[in-house]
Amino acid sequence: MKKYDYLIVGAGLFGSIFAYEAKKRGKKVLVIEKRNHFGGNKYTTEIAGINVQYYGAHNIHTSKKEIWDYINQFAEFNNFINSPMANYNGQMYNLPFNMNTFSKLWNISKPEEAKRIIEEQKKKYQIKEPKNLEEQAISLVGYDVYEKLIKGYTEKQWGKSCDQLPPFIIKRLPVRFIYDNNYFNDIYQGIPKGGYTKIVKRMLAGIEVILNADYFAKQKKYDGLAKKILYTGAIDQFFNYEEGVLEYRSLEFEHQTLNKENFQGNAVINYTDFKTPYTRIIEHKHFEFKKSDNTVITYEYPKEWNKNLEPYYPINDDRNQEIYNKYYLRAKQLTTHIFGGRLAEYKYYDMDDIIEKALDLVAKELRESNLKEEENK
């Protein structure tokens, strides 16, 4: 007899939702996490009285009411609207690309004027079907926006030139011909009051969690503990990189406490030139409209990934996708393990995607396991 129904590798959002839902349905669950805390990349901790999103700014956003309602059962959300600014060589522009951006850039006021300029700039490049991020960006917003607000940021962020990157990355950002700085098109968004860690703490309440536990350090022992294992780490590592090493982008975060009330006047400022080594500075207090004499800021530096660094972003180009497809087929054949999350599925998922995917997987998994139990009776 195995001690647990499920061993869950990784206490990020995916693993925590799966654990919560499985426990709720009477399953015995163990969670192991290699870091010294749970929450994965949306871990929040308090520094100098301010909730600090330790691995970068996270804004949950969705248009699906069921996803919003689901996450709201674990925390109360504030009404923060993400409206980052871009700093290009000292000049400030609104994001995402909207009439505020265009009017500052071209000294115009009307949507038709912006559309006309973008069309003229696009024409020069004669792009029919965009094949890479550069072509996609120019098709959407023209050359000036590409040059000042996209090219430098993107090449720092991904460590590749824009013509080597897939178009879908830039389509994450809205382009609007109205004066609206909301970074997302979704109906619902916000920041959980008290930080994201509180959400995961609630999900994992009453569940056994072992921190500082790397699955691969004792894989045989861990596999022996549970009837089934949900793995949310990097998929290529699970298969010992046998089909090839997938590429990731890593990050480094530098947190500073400053003895001033307001450092940059906004939660997120992107540095869109290539020379500045960081991509963004986050000032955490602005996410929560916090009043205090001090402030905490975080510099986000993109980094070349290697096996000793955290794999923050999958790089979903054709080469990596081909490798991933091989791992996917191998993973599907296993009856002892299931896979989910940003790293195990090698997809640029946001948190709303993760909630949806985790709920789907746990429902499917428990349906099948209950059927099996019925058959064995």
Identity of the residue numbered 132:
N
Give the residue ranges of DSSP H helices in 126-182: 133-145, 152-158
- 101: partner contacted, choices ligand UDP, ligand FAD, none (Cβ within 5-8 A by kind): none
Cα separation, 184 vs 348, whole angstroms: 16
- Per CB under 6 A, the segment of 35-43, 151-159, 174-182, 237-245 that binds ligand UDP is 151-159
Q: Concatenated DSSP letters for 83-128?
A: --EEEETTEEEESSBSHHHHHHHH----HHHHHHHHHHHHHHHT-S
| Annotation marks residue 319 as catalytic | no
Nearer to ligand UDP, 50 or 149 (CB): 149
- 60: partner contacted, choices ligand UDP, ligand FAD, none (Cβ within 5-8 A by kind): ligand FAD
Cα separation, 199 vs 185, whole angstroms: 24
Bridge partners, residue 252, by sequence: 301
Contact call for residues 94 and 182 (beta carbons, < 8 A):
no
Binding site for ligand FAD (CB under 6 A): 9-15, 32-35, 40-42, 55-60, 214-216, 232-233, 251, 312, 341-343, 349-352, 354
Q: For residue 342, give Cα distances in angstroms to 175, 315, 338.
A: 26, 11, 14
SS3 of residue 28 by DSSP: coil
Q: Should residue 248 be labelled a site residue for ligand UDP when binding is judged by CB under 6 A?
A: no
| Annotation marks residue 367 as catalytic | no
Contact call for residues 351 and 60 (beta carbons, < 8 A):
yes
| Annotation marks residue 348 as catalytic | yes
| Annotation marks residue 202 as catalytic | no
- 40: partner contacted, choices ligand UDP, ligand FAD, none (Cβ within 5-8 A by kind): ligand FAD
- 142: partner contacted, choices ligand UDP, ligand FAD, none (Cβ within 5-8 A by kind): none
- 351: partner contacted, choices ligand FAD, ligand UDP, none (Cβ within 5-8 A by kind): ligand FAD
| Annotation marks residue 172 as catalytic | yes
Q: Which of these is catalytic: 33, 283, 300, 365?
A: 300
Cα separation, 174 vs 177, whole angstroms: 10
Shortest Å, Cβ 344 to ligand FAD: 7
Answer whether the bond into residue 277 is a cis peptide, omega within 30°: no
Residue ranges in contact with ligand UDP by CB under 6 A: 86, 95, 149-150, 153-154, 157, 169-170, 172-173, 270, 272
Which residues form the catalytic set? 172, 176, 249, 280, 300, 348, 350
